[in-house]
Structure 1
Amino acid sequence: MSRRKSPLELSSEAFQGQIDEQQASATTSSGILPPIGASQGGNRSGPGLGLGSDKADGKTLAMKARRGLSRICKYILPPIILVLGTFTIFSPSSEFTKDDVFSATTVIFGAAILALVWALLQFLIIARIPVQSNGAGVSEETGLVSSTDSEATTARLIEIYEAIYEGAESFLRAEYSVCALFVICFAAVIFVLISWGTGWDTARGFFTSFSFVLGAITSMASGYLGMKVAVYSNVRTTISAQKPGWTACFNTAFRAGAVMGFALCGLGIFMLYATMLAFRVHYPAPEQWVYLTECLTGYGLGGSSIAMFGRVGGGIYTKAADVGADLVGKVVHGIPEDDPRNPATIADNVGDNVGDVAGMGSDLFGSFAEATCAALVIGNSIGLTGGWDAMVFPVVVSAVGIVVCMLCSFIATHISPVKSEAGVETALKVQLISTTVLMIPSVILAAKAFLPNSFDLKATVGNDMVTLTPIEAALCVIMGAIGGLTIGLITEYYTSHTYKPVRELADACKTGAATNMIYGIALGYKSVIIPVIVLASVIYGSFSLCDMYGVSLAAIGFLSNLATGLTIDVYGPVCDNAGGIAEMAELEPYVRDKTDALDAAGNTTAAIGKGFAIGSAALVSLALFGAFVTRIRNASAEAGAEELFLNGVNMLEPLTFAFLIIGGMIPFAFAAMTMKSVGLAAMEMVMEVQRQFDEKPHLLDENPTERPDYDACIAISTKASLREMVPPATMVILTPLLTGIFFGVNAVSGLLVGSLIASVQLAISMSNSGGAWDNAKKYIEKAAPDSDLQGKGSDIHKAAVVGDTVGDPFKDTSGPALNIVMKLMAVLSLVFADTFYAFNNGGGIFNL
């Protein structure tokens, strides 16, 4: 086996030659379709779509990846690290001792570096799994010599993998090109409006724009890294599934998720805290830290803006391919999921990476950045009496969470490794529970170490100073962590086929798709009740203890085990892709059975993750709203005018109440736009897949002599997602901006509250309905043909597939993207708060 040339290199030039030599045998062995690299006429570029058989290209996928990483390391990272590092070194310690500053800095930077090293270590362990064939293997089931390790099948695995890689790479490249253009233009808008709104304080305008660009770059890097790692690991998970037992395949997928989880958290904390220290050069005194934290809000806005494009664009891509593949493949022609004869199957697997990995990673990074920024804005007055360490306590909590998640990860891989199918879901749940439990004493110790015995905070309502203690602050974080776990477990109850609701939904399919739809929608509505009660309890308790600062700490608590949450979220798409590769490569049935079991557990825990993400988004949005109120109060006080929101936000003000209703409408308009976008793209996909089946009648043969045109389906998803992601994102960005400029801060207050209330209810119901439909279908597929549910291919199963296809955009496009709706509108209002106030002292241009 030839040595890899870079971490992302999948095969050497010599092995690429082996693939070329084996294509002829791969075409005819075991009924496998002609290889993806086979020419269909025309000169296509990209692995798996013509590259494998086109030697004129002269570059392998591994060489491209190596060159891309080399350019990033040479031209992008050094200037950023040099600038931030220089500012960090010269960042003053004000009148506080160097030991005080050093302690928080050491913990935060130490945890960030530890996370990045841990992620690299997990990646290197995955990279040790060989992709090359070492000869024939032995079947786990029969003990006979198996063809699954044959060189022809290995070549086929590489072909499929490369097609998925190139599709994901090309989409993210196109999507991030649009995002880069937006970032450049919007950074200029931020600079002008913030500078003008603060009396042409160009330093604040520049710092806010700089942090916005930095947040956007970090978000894009997080999504891109996640996609790279997920695609790199899926084929290795398939290979590991061929080994006896469950430990190897589970650990491979789990470690792939850990690379994403720890790398994102480490990178996010490092860049955020380095930016804070850089800004301290200009704002050294504690009295100036209010401006430092306000400039830092651009970091959250940058992350959330990219998350909006990633979630919407990636969600439309993946669900257009998924719905199109299911409707034509399963319902019309009755072929299995991920069947290589289906032209949309490669696009479907690409979508898992760009939507469920890259989009999700950017989303949760945005939540972390916004929650931290909100806590710092609300709690900046803590620095006046408690010092730097006390003010940056929210960042310390996230740093402590990294260490806790790293320690708990050993439970899944070493202390109690997975040895059976039943142990897969248990291992993932133990991760969530153990990290939450271990966070409780860890947060208390961190609060005792970094917060003074008592410290003062300016109240959100009134002019009083609230005196807080470390235990009160720790309790707010703990309430958030326990609330997140509770909401996750409630979500599991409503979406897992282990429990009554989903089994009743499966029974409803016996009378057709209509009753399935009715019951699924009702299930989603009902599932809102308990999570909302939990959220309300957390909000009341944390606000009672620490004012609005407590709510922001509760949001931090929700995200304290973010590294573990991301690990589990990425684990699911990796297993899904591994199963798709196994099906397309026609590996032995036991391999697909293993990957299906891994994926089923991932679906259940993914539903838990969605509930966790929605709950955290609600708290983050509320915390950002509190930060917006605080910033408007500061702006009016600086102007020497009547202090706005001194006694809180009055919802009975006519303008506030009117925009409360408008704000409640925004999530429904957004959901309508994204759902329709998926429907339009899915229609194009269905027509294209059916066209190929009509024009290539032998494509559906058991041993087909024709191959599908995967490129056409990938192109449809790419074009549709890039086209359709712009209108809903534009609506979410422009609505609060135009409202604040024309109608003033009272209107913005109503808009934010209305969108928060409607978004959280709609997001929970849509996500849970979609998850329940998905698992009801899987429950029916596991049934025997002679049982009440009749199993695959029956009319009951077809009714379940209809529900699943409707639920796909519910749970993977509109539902998750609503998290960003409430967060992005709130953080955008926070960033432009001074600008809004500059128009007629907060009255807007119309000054109603």
Structure 2
Amino acid sequence: MAVVLGLSLFGIYMFRRSTPEQEAAGLQRLTLAVITLLSFLLGAVCSGVAGYVGMWVSVRANSRVAGAARRSAREALQVALRAGGFSALVVIGMVVLGVSVLYSSLFVYFGMDQPGGLKMTDLPLLLVGYGFGASFVALFAQLGGGIYTKAADVGADLVGKVEQGIPEDDPRNPAVIADLVGDNVGDCAARGADLFESVAAEIISAMILGGTMARKCKIEDPSGFVLFPLVVHSFDLIVSAIGIMSVKGTRGAGSKTPVEDPMAVLQRGYSVAILLAIVSFIGSTRWLLYSEQAPQAWIHFSMCGLVGIATAYAFVWITQYYTDYKYRPVRIVAEASTTGHGTNIIAGVGLGLESTAMPVLVISTAILSAYWLGRTSGMVDDMGEAAGGLFGTAIATMGMLSTAAYVLTMDMFGPIADNAGGIVEMSQQPESVREITDLLDAVGNTTKATTKGFSIGSAALAAFLLFSAYMDEVSSFTGVSFREVDIAIPEVWLGGLLGAMLIFLFSAWSCVAVGRSAQAVVNEVRRQFVERPGIMTYQAKPDYARCVSIVASSALQEMIKPGVLAVGSPIVIGFQLQDHLGSCPGQMNRQHLGKILVIFSNVRG
């Protein structure tokens, strides 16, 4: 599918008009189309490789964690965290490596800053295909992985735990292997692809905004503003690795439980990564963003980065508050469970809706604060107007993602611990070993939720950056300043309305897909229990492979419909509204269409 979409992009770019800067540099349409195709495929391949490596490590670390749990809970914690850390570092490393290789290749190919050649500040616009390729793979990794893991989970629990009354991860359940595989698919590969896409989009959009600001402000050496995102995420690999290695585990003579809460141990490592990220961020800002035109600007940009880092920490804390068993929300749901299923569902849905308030307030405060700090940095354009506001929000996003590798580590810790618990249960280990893996699994559920909240927040900031970068590119094509989106224009309002509607339609189709896939698993598990009564007495072995095959094929089939909706809707709406606006003058037509697609994509994102 990636190849087909890449060829479609090639065809689109063959008929697309270049920007004035690209035309002045002699960049031909064929060259631009080839670059976009290759960068798209590179982004898709890097994202796929990162997800595959994450699953490859996870499935091999599970048994090691189970073995470590027989000796010490601390050792099991350390093995699980470092295994997740390796996968996370590979994911972020692939983003940085892919963008760096692509940027360096184009830099050498075009001979940057040569007389009459392409300028360094315009080069990031050629990298957008990489982000699109990463987004395309992330979409189907999350969609297919989500359908797989939830269908297997529901199918295994409904028949095994509810109907047959056997424990979770019991080897007599035919869907137990599919359930364990689903944890790796949904929480390792899918979450890795999600953060890969967020980081890639953030890097490329920040490079575009940095180059645009440097060009407007006539900065003599714009390289620091363009390359700053790559440097920040290179430091991310270092500070996150140190944070991971700071989480020590000891065998503990005769001790089967940690001296302290595992979540506290993980948070201590995160605090180490945060502190190092602050130091590296301030140093990088002074090194790369100092300019003679505005000597104090780097201080403002450093503060923007601190706003982003504080936002990341706030998201981690908020998510932990709503998902950790030690705090009020989880206890409310547990108390509601004592009076029946209905009150449990009502309490859970209510708290879920309540949990959206604080993250939105935090994101709103972060965007406004970073924009104000950037705007007052002293960076001004030819007209004397402040030009650093959008770049300030870009730096805040970089700050939030400056410890992305450690946060992703905590996410991948979850399925590794969960699978280790399944191995312990299926191998009939002593109860004391199962208690250790259950403890790690409980912490892993919280860390998985933490990463989901973190990825949502980072995606919101990245969406704002893409929103801004898209407006800059529309301005380059039309030659008209594009700073405002007027929602009083009916077509623009329609774009926002359609974008909001598509979220619910996409969610509905995804839920229906999970339901149909789960039904197939439930029917298969029931059939095996009926046709093989010896399964319950351990006299017959369940057909695990059959359940894995069913849920895998069903997930692949069911993800097509919502996937096509997500990919095709912007194209269809763009062409339909372009025809509707065809009577407008050329420049006005492109401006209106740009505004419509901006509000549509931003609301949908």
2:561 equivalent in structure 1: 727
Instruction: Give yes or no for contact 1:477–1:553 (8 Å, CA) kept in 2.
Output: yes
**What is aligned with 2:199?**
368
Shift of 1:754: 5.3
Alignment partners' CA distance in 1, 2:364 and 2:492:
22
Identify the match of residue 3 of structure 2 among 184, 187, 196.
184
For residue 294 of structure 1, report the CA deviation from its aligned partner: 1.2
Aligned counterparts, 1:275-674, within 5 A: 275-286=102-113, 288-381=119-212, 382=214, 385=219, 386-413=221-248, 420=258, 422-454=260-292, 469-546=297-374, 547-637=389-479, 643=480, 645=482, 647-674=483-510
Deviations 1:526-548 (A, max 9, x none): 11111100000001011122212
CA distance in 1, matches of 2:529, 2:45: 42
Instruction: Indicate the residue corresponding to 1:677 in structure 2.
Output: 513
**Equivalent of residue 206 in structure 1, options 34, 37, 59:** 34
**How many angstroms does 1:352 deviate by?**
1.0
Q: Which of residues 258, 262, 267 is equivalent to 2:85?
A: 258
Asked if 1 retains the 8 angstrom alpha-carbon contact of 2:55 and 2:185, the reply is: yes
In the alignment, the residues of structure 1 paired with residue 601 and residue 112 of structure 2 have an alpha-carbon distance, to the nearest angstrom, of: 37
Q: Is the contact between residue 696 and residue 706 of structure 1 (CA under 8 Å) also seen in structure 2?
A: yes
AA matched with 1:391: V
Q: Distance in 2 between matches of 1:675 and 1:203?
A: 42
Instruction: For residue 119 of structure 2, give the secondary structure of its aligned residue in structure 1.
Output: helix
One-letter amino acid of the counterpart of residue 711, structure 1: A
2:386 is aligned to: none
Give per-residue Cα distances to partners, 1:249-279, cap 9 Å, x unaligned.
Answer: 1111111111111122222212211210111
Matched-pair contact (CA < 8 Å) for 1:699–1:705: yes
Report % sequence identity: 35
Which residue of 2 is the match for residue 695 of structure 1?
531
Q: Judging changes above 3 Å, is the alpha-carbon distance between structure 1 residues 739 and 283 closer, same or farther for their aligned structure 2 residues?
A: farther
Asked if structure 1 preserves the Cα contact closer than 8 Å seen for 2:36 and 2:128, the reply is: yes
Partner amino acid for 2:239?
Answer: V
Change (3 A) 1:416 1:444: farther
Contact 1:231 1:353 survives alignment (8 Å):
yes
Query: Hey, what's the Cα distance between the residues in 2 that align with 1:362 and 1:692?
Result: 35
Contact 1:663 1:751 in 2 (8 A): no
Q: Determine if contact 1:667/1:755 at 8 Å carries over to the other structure.
A: no
Q: Where does residue 125 of structure 1 map in the other structure? A: none
Which whole-Å CA distance do the structure 1 matches of 2:518 and 2:250 have between them? 45
Is residue 574–residue 597 contact of structure 2 (8 Å, CA) maintained in 1? no
Amino acid at match of 2:6: A
Aligned residue for 1:249? 76
Cα distance per residue 1:689-718 (max 9 Å; x no partner): 1111111223223xx211111122111111
Instruction: Tell me the TM-score normalised to structure 1 length.
Output: 0.64
Alignment CA distance shift 1:183-1:517 (3 Å)? same
Alpha-carbon distance in 1 for matches of 2:299, 2:100: 24
In 1, Cα distance between equivalents of 2:296 and 2:101: 27
Change (3 A) 1:568 1:629: same
Asked if 1 retains the 8 angstrom alpha-carbon contact of 2:155 and 2:175, the reply is: yes
Q: Supply the distance in 2 between the matched residues of 1:416 and 1:747 (Cα, whole angstroms).
A: 63
Q: Secondary structure at the match of 1:413?
A: coil
CA distance in 2, matches of 1:720, 1:607: 26
The Cα shift of 1:627 comes to: 0.5
**DSSP 3-state at the match of 2:246:** helix
Indicate the larger mover: 205-214 or 741-750. Answer: 741-750
Contact kept, 8 Å, 1:664 with 1:751, in 2: the verdict is no
Higher relative contact order (CA 8 A, sep 6+): 2
CA contact (8 A) 1:661 1:751 kept: no
Contact 1:436 1:482 in 2 (8 A): no
**How many angstroms apart in 2 are the aligned matches of 1:322 and 1:389?**
48
Q: Select 1:195's aligned residue among 14, 18, 29.
A: 14
What runs of 5+ residues in structure 1 fail to find an aligned partner? 1-181, 457-466, 638-642, 760-821, 823-848
Secondary structure class of the residue paired with 1:338:
coil
Larger Rg: 1
Q: 2:52 aligns with which of 219, 224, 240?
A: 224
Task: Measure, in 2, the Cα distance between the counterparts of 1:347 and 1:503.
Answer: 30
How far off its partner does 1:223 sit? 0.5
Check 1:380–1:613 CA distance in 2 against 1; reply closer, same or farther (3 A cut).
same
What letter matches 1:520 in structure 2?
Answer: G
C-alpha deviation, 1:407, in angstroms = 2.0
Name the CA distance, whole Å, in 2 between partners of 1:236 and 1:371. Answer: 35
Write the deviation string for residues 572-622 of structure 1: whole angstroms up to 9, x where unpaired. 101100100111111111111111111111111221111111100000011
2:411 touches 2:448 (CA, 8 Å); kept in 1? Answer: yes
- Contact 1:664-1:755 within 8 A present in 2 as well: no
Structure 1 counterpart SS, 2:540: coil
Residue 389 of structure 1 deviates from its aligned partner by 2.5
CA distance in structure 2 between the partners assigned to 1:416 and 1:334 by the alignment: 36
Native 8 Å contact 1:283 1:291 kept in 2: no
Output the amino acid matched with 1:478.
Answer: L
- For 2:109 and 2:485, how far apart are their aligned partners in 1? 33
State the 1:195 CA deviation: 2.7
Give the direction of change, closer, same or farther, for the CA distance of 1:684–1:201 in structure 2 (3 Å limit).
Answer: same
Cα 1:514–1:749 change in 2 (3 A) is farther
Q: Aligned-pair distance for 1:421?
A: 6.2
Residue in 1 that maps onto 2:380: none
Q: Distance in 1 between matches of 2:103 and 2:150?
A: 39
Whether the aligned pair in 2 keeps the contact of 1:320 and 1:685 (CA below 8 Å) is yes
Q: 2: distance between equivalents of 1:623 and 1:608?
A: 23
Q: Aligned residues, how many?
A: 559
The 1:614/1:454 distance shift into structure 2, 3 A limit, reads: farther
TM-score (norm 2): 0.89
Q: State whether residues 243 and 269 of structure 2, in contact with CA within 8 Å, keep that contact through their aligned partners in structure 1.
A: yes
CA positional deviation for 1:375: 0.6
Shift of the 320–191 alpha-carbon distance from structure 1 to 2, 3 Å rule, reads same
Q: Separation in 2 of the partners of 1:416 and 1:380?
A: 52
**How far is the alpha carbon of 1:748 from its aligned partner?**
5.5
Deviation by residue 1:658-678 (Cα, 9 ceiling, x = unmatched): 111111111111111111111
Offset at residue 414 of structure 1 (A)? 6.6
Paired AA for residue 407 in structure 1: I
Partner residue of 2:381? Answer: none
From the superposition, tell whether residues 748 and 328 of structure 1 become closer, same or farther in structure 2 (CA, over 3 Å): farther
Question: 1:232 Cα deviation (Å)?
Answer: 0.8
Question: Where in structure 2 are there 5+ consecutive unaligned residues?
Answer: 19-27, 375-388, 579-589
What residue in structure 2 maps to residue 40 of structure 1? none
Q: Which residue of 1 aligns with 2:545?
A: 711
Counterpart contact for 1:432–1:485, Cα < 8 Å = no
**2:202 aligned partner, one-letter code:** A
Find the aligned partners of 2:559 and 2:296 in 1 and give their Cα distance. Answer: 44
